[in-house]
Amino acid sequence: MKGVVVKDNALINASYNLDLVEQRLILLAIIEARETGKGINANDALDVHASSYIHHFNVEKHTAYSVLKQAADDLFERRFSYQFTNENGNTEYVKSRWVSEIRYVENEALIKLIFAPSVVPLITRLEKHFTSYELKQVSQLSSRYAVRLYELLIAWRSTGKTPLFDLEHFRNQLGIADDEYKRMELFKRRVLDVAIAQINEFTDITVDYEQHKKGRSIAGFSFSFKQKQKPKKLDTKKLELSEKQLDLFSTKLAHDPVFAGRFSAVGETYNEFASRIKKQLKNSSNLDKYSAYLDKLGLKI
């Protein structure tokens, strides 16, 4: 169960607005509670270290430090809403903060947070209606809408398709404000298409959608998705690249904008980046990590 996130589907389907770093911080706190055995309650703080953020999301140290400090400020102000049917058969509408307390420890690059009372049972109640997934499935998603859409989709993993998502409610679930992406063309281009492209590239599923109209206007969307076949793992113990291959591969990778955008360091020159990649490729254990990028560039190991 290492690295597994579990949330009640009431929370998965909740309407809330968290940016990418805040979503990642929540996920790391959930994993911290599971892996340390501390559990989640409304009294005890959970620790999230910058080192954990760096490890799971492959970012530079100074980036992790700065974004986590900002996230500590912003997350305390965030709210979300959900609904459930109570014992009398009536619908209760709930609004809550995500955390009741949050601290940033400057010299330790550490965040300590306590989930709000309403959040605790939604994360810890595992006996029914829950969705679980591995953190690595969303670790490469850079769009907050992609993370949210992935969570919404895998709640329907058993069927591989969703019901119709009403447009207004779907926008709320993605965390889109009323004044954002009001034009459908803009919503699809900047939100939906980007999210689906990232999910298809970086996660364990491929997804497509169908739009549903009411009259001439789009009233909502439904989604279908399927599990990807697991790629064959490279036998890196038997691989050893020649000097010519190392030069070619490191040069091509350093020039690729997608690869450079993900792995280059701030202020690093092209030559420095290419040299660093070449050194990493000499270690065969890194070949699996970069094999997908090499395949896209037509470079076969």
**203-207, 211-215, 241-245: least confident range:** 241-245
User: Is 282 exposed, middle or buried (CB count within 10 Å of its CB: 0-12, 13-18, 19+)?
Assistant: middle
Angle between helix 243-255 and helix 270-282 axes, rounded to 10 deg: 130
Over residues 235-247, mean pLDDT = 68
Over residues 255-272, mean pLDDT = 77
pLDDT tens digits for range 101-142: 999 998 888 999 999 998 888 887 655 667 788 888 898 999
Over residues 52-56, mean pLDDT = 88
Over residues 24-37, mean pLDDT = 87
Structural class in CATH, domain 1-128: mainly alpha
Q: Which residue has better confidence, 113 or 285?
A: 113
**pLDDT tops 50 at residue 168:** yes
Evaluate whether 1-128 and 140-230 have a shared fold: yes
pLDDT band at 265 (very low <50, low <70, confident <90, very high): confident
Would you list the domain boundaries of the chain? 1-128, 140-230, 236-296
Over residues 50-58, mean pLDDT = 88
Share of the chain above pLDDT 90, in %: 41
263 token code pair: 């792995």
Angle between helix 20-36 and helix 61-75 axes, rounded to 10 deg: 90
CA distance 170 to 247: 48
Residue among 226, 209, 128 nearest 163 (CA): 209
Q: Which residue has better confidence, 264 or 297?
A: 264
CA distance 53 to 267: 21
Fold designation for 140-230: Arc Repressor Mutant, subunit A (1.10.10)
Over residues 46-64, mean pLDDT = 88
Give residue 129's pLDDT: 66
Give residue 294's pLDDT: 73
Give residue 285's pLDDT: 64
CA distance 178 to 176: 7
pLDDT band at 42 (very low <50, low <70, confident <90, very high): very high
**pLDDT tops 90 at residue 280:** no
pLDDT band at 300 (very low <50, low <70, confident <90, very high): low
pLDDT tens digits for range 57-100: 888 888 888 899 899 899 999 988 888 888 999 999 889 999 99
DSSP β-bridge partners for residue 122: none
Give residue 259's pLDDT: 77
Q: Which residue has better confidence, 224 or 292?
A: 224
Cα dihedral 17/34/198/147 (nearest 10): -10
Cα dihedral 171/173/179/180 (nearest 10): -70
Q: Which residue has better confidence, 291 or 39?
A: 39
pLDDT band at 236 (very low <50, low <70, confident <90, very high): very low
